[in-house]
Amino acid sequence: MCVKIHARKQNNMVVLSLSFFITAILYASIGFGGGSTYNALLVLAEVDYQLLPVIALLCNLIVVSGGAWRFARGGYIKLKRILPLIVTSIPAAWIGGNIEISEGSFILILGLALLFSGLKMLWPDKGNNISVNFTFIAPVIGGALGFLAGLVGIGGGIFLAPILHLLRFDNAKAIAGTCSVFILLNSLSGLVGQITKLGDVNLLSQISLYWLLFPAVFIGGQIGSYMGAVQLKPNVIKQMTAILILYVALRLLWRIFA
């Protein structure tokens, strides 16, 4: 009996790792980390919800580090321009990571966030952009998205990107580079907040049981970054990512309201 249970757990971990691998490829190809979907997949795998943000943020850091390095080498990251954005997002992500929320609230917020993200990615860009003083509005945007990122263990880039496009911040690659830095710093700050909140060494030690997820997202992230660099049908990749996000979002919301 014990052997069968162990084998079932091993199979589940392989399936979960494969899901993380595919997610990392899709997200990295469009400049994101994938934290929101990692969280959702862990919820559906019935992992202890207290560990979800920590595991997701670690995976986020692994994936987005490669993207940030690639964009920095290409000269697409302009720190002076994005400083007003990250100066509020970093502390806000830490604050969000420290806040205790129930499992039901966590899943609901995550499901709604994914639903919004998926619909926005599928929605055609009609170019209805607006022009505002970015330096003035950036701290508000950074603080709000940073708080949400820390609260549910995501990087926030999936919300930041459409806002930057709407504000005509810069070209597509500069926006992707900005998002990669935003995700990287928020993930790190949110991770510190989440670990501080837990404060349970025994609980944190259980993360080692999911070690296979980390090489899976590292390899997937490298593949995705390469795909994004050579621009392999970016619209198709974006649509595939959106469909994945919506599928997971609906499963989470069904779990809450069913």
Rounding to the nearest 10 degrees, give the CA dihedral for residues 195, 67, 155, 246: -120
Is residue 214 pLDDT above 90, yes or no? Answer: yes
Predicted local confidence at residue 217, as pLDDT? 95
Assigned token pair, 241: 């990512």
Structure tokens at 194: 């989440």
The one-letter amino acid code at 164 reads L
Rounded to the nearest integer, the mean pLDDT of the chain is 83
Asked whether residue 106 carries a pLDDT value surpassing 90, the answer given is no
**Is residue 37 scored above 50 in pLDDT?**
yes
207, pLDDT greater than 80: yes
User: Token pair for residue 31?
Assistant: 């400049």
Between residues 249 and 133, which one has the greater pLDDT?
249
pLDDT, one tens digit per residue, over 147-206 is 988 988 888 888 888 888 778 887 777 888 888 899 999 999 999 988 888 877 677 888
Long-range contacts of 10-16 (CB under 8 A, 24+ apart): 12/45, 13/210, 13/212, 14/212, 16/41, 16/42, 16/45, 16/210, 16/213
Mean pLDDT across the stretch 222-247?
Answer: 73
Alpha-carbon distance of 213 to 37, in angstroms, equals 13
Copy the structure tokens of residue 71. 């964009």
3-class DSSP state for residue 174? helix
